[in-house]
Amino acid sequence: MTDTPVVLFDHVQAANGLRFGVATLNTPAALNALSADMVRLLTPQLRAWAADPTVVGVVLDAAGHKAFCAGGDLRQLYLSMREHGGARNPVAEAFFSEEYELDHLIHTFPKPFLVWGHGIVMGGGVGLMVGASHRVVTEATRLAMPEIGIGLFPDVGGSWFLPRMPGRTGLFLALTAAPLNAADALHCGMADVLVPHDRKAAVWSALASAPWTGEAPADRATLTAVLRAAGEGALRPPSLVMRHAAAIDTLMAGDDLGPIAERLRSLQSDDPWLQAAGTSFAKGSPTSAALSFALWQRANGLPLADVLRLEYRAALGCCAHADFPEGIRALLIDKDRQPRWDPPTLADVWPALIDDHLRLRGEMPPRLAAL
What tens digit of pLDDT does each residue of 37-60 get?
A: 999 999 999 999 999 999 999 999
Domain that holds residue 358: 7-369
1 domain residue, yes or no: no
Length of the chain as a residue count:
371
Q: Does residue 182 come out as left (phi exceeding 0), alpha (psi in the -120 to 50 range) or beta? A: alpha
> For residue 16, what pLDDT band results from cuts at 50, 70 and 90?
confident
How far lies 301's CA from each of 34, 107, 180, 210, 279, in Å?
28, 17, 25, 38, 30
2 domain residue, yes or no: no
At residue 152, what is the residue type?
L
Residue 192 burial by CB count (10 A; 0-12/13-18/19+): exposed, middle or buried? buried
Dihedral angle of Cα 158, 161, 162, 166, to the nearest 10 degrees: -170
Share the mean pLDDT of the chain: 97
Query: How many structural domains are present in the chain?
Result: 1
CA distance 61 to 135: 11
216 domain residue, yes or no: yes
Rounded to an integer, the average pLDDT of 353-371 is 97
pLDDT (tens digit per residue) in 137-188:
999 999 999 999 999 999 999 999 999 999 999 999 999 999 999 999 999 9
Q: What is the CATH number of the domain that holds 195?
A: 3.90.226.10
> For residue 1, what pLDDT band results from cuts at 50, 70 and 90?
very low
Closest CA relative to residue 57, chosen from 21, 7, 15: 21
**Residue 73 pLDDT greater than 50, yes or no:** yes
Q: What pLDDT does residue 2 have?
A: 60
Q: Does residue 96 come out as left (phi exceeding 0), alpha (psi in the -120 to 50 range) or beta? A: alpha
Q: Which residues are catalytic?
A: 72, 124, 147, 155
Cβ(5)–Cβ(25) below 8 Å: no
pLDDT (tens digit per residue) in 227-249:
999 999 999 999 999 999 999 99
Neighbouring CB atoms inside 10 A of 179's CB total 21
pTM of the model: 0.97
Q: Cα angle vertex 82, ends 293, 96, to 5°?
A: 50
CA distance 117 to 101: 20
Task: With both helix axes pointing from N to C terminus, report the angle between 257-265 and 286-298 in degrees, rounded to the nearest 10.
Answer: 130
Closest CA relative to residue 312, chosen from 267, 364, 239: 364
